[in-house]
């Protein structure tokens, strides 16, 4: 896993975006410079993660994604510096994402008055592990739960018919927290009534969490029971491995689950936009950074730029009907 230097860099990125976002309303030039610098640091952050995703995690989706994120972050900073001020909201959302995710990633267990308080990540991993175990048993399987390398009870133990032991451990990346943080950060950053922000969260969080539990259950069973022991030589060559028992893991997680997660995130984004159309501009900015093309998602998805009240009038920032009839 990335070490202390990576954690420090991550907090520096979040702090830079946070300060820049706070400065923007009053000292725009200084705030913009801070945010542009934040995008540069964010590019550096993704760059140092590439070897971890490619060589340690052996994840082509995450490895390619982190590599592509480097020029995209630089380009976002360049566009913001050049006057695309609409990127301010996307920039602010990064700080919210980090503030939600990094405490789980970086805060360790602490001892107070002789009592050990577990790290936030440990608590979350235990909860997801317990719920995954319940789903596995609901499907009629009975794997043994054993402590992982860190001593946390987060590892499922399967034994193949020939007696080979397969261990599948859940880590923070298996909790769905990353995806939840992305949506929560975006929702928090836009200017909209809190009631509709909470409604958008109420749509995104349960769906992501439920899909993640389905994912961990699927991978555990397919890997543990070796249900995708296909194209062994080809898969091992592709992932640079020699253990034939890992083929089912690579196919179920790195290929099937990570590919479907992209589709799921697109679907969740659409559902959230239905509840919080103010996010349209942020998503369009992100698409522009990705493709260098302007998009009108409001027209494509038949969504207003601002939510509409029951009486047919656009909702203002205070949550009441806006008599100006602007959309």
Give me the DSSP letters along 282-309.
HHHHHHHHHHS----HHHHTT--SS-B-
Closest CA to 59 of 264, 253, 262, 260: 253
Is 121 part of the annotated catalytic residue set? no
Catalytic residue of the set 92, 133, 196, 215: 215
Contact (CB, 8 A) for 9 and 41: yes
Distance of CA 45 to the CA centre of its chain: 15
**How many alpha carbons lie under 13 Å from residue 69 in its C-beta half-sphere?**
18
The string of DSSP codes covering 124-165 is HHHHHHHHHHHHHHHTT--PEEE--TTS-S-EEEEE-TT--E
- Considering 174, 196, 254, 306, which one is annotated as catalytic? 174
Measured in residues, the chain has a length of 327
Beta bridge partners of 314: 308
Selection from 327, 221, 319, 211 nearest residue 271 by Cα: 211
- Is 73 considered catalytic here? no
- How far CA 192 is from CA of 45, 187, 201, 208, 292, in Å, comes to 30, 9, 13, 22, 27
**Annotated catalytic sites, by residue?**
174, 215
């Amino acid at each position: 896993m990335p070490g202390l230097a990576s954690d420090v860099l991550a907090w520096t990125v979040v702090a830079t975006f946070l300060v820049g976002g706070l400065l923007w309303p009053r000292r725009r030039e200084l705030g913009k410079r801070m945010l542009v610098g934040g995008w540069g640091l964010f590019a550096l952050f993704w760059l140092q993660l590439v070897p971890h995703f490619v060589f340690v995690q052996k994840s082509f989706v995450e490895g390619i994604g982190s590599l592509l994120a480097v020029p995209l972050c630089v380009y976002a900073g360049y566009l913001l510096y050049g006057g695309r001020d609409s990127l301010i909201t996307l920039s602010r959302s990064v700080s919210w994402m980090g503030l939600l995710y990094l405490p789980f990633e970086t805060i360790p267990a602490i001892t107070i008055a002789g009592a050990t308080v577990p790290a936030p990540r440990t608590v979350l991993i235990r909860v997801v592990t317990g719920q995954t175990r319940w789903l596995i048993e609901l499907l009629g399987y009975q794997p043994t739960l054993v402590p992982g390398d860190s001593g946390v009870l987060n590892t499922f133990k399967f034994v193949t018919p020939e007696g080979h032991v397969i261990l599948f451990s859940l880590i923070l990346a298996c909790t769905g927290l990353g995806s939840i943080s992305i949506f929560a950060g975006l929702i928090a950053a836009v200017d909209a009534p809190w009631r509709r922000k909470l409604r958008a969260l109420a749509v995104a969080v349960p769906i992501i969490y439920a899909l993640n539990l389905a994912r961990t259950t699927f991978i555990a069973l397919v890997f543990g029971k070796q249900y995708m022991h296909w194209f062994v030589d080809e898969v091992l060559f592709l992932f640079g491995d020699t253990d034939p028992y890992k083929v089912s893991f690579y196919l179920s997680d790195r290929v099937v689950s990570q590919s479907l997660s992209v589709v799921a995130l697109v679907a969740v984004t659409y559902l959230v936009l239905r509840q919080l159309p103010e996010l349209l501009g942020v998503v369009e900015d992100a698409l522009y950074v990705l493709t260098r093309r302007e998009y009108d998602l409001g027209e494509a998805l038949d969504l207003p730029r601002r939510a509409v009240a029951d009486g047919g009038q656009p909702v203002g920032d205070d949550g009441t009907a806006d008599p100006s009839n602007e959309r």
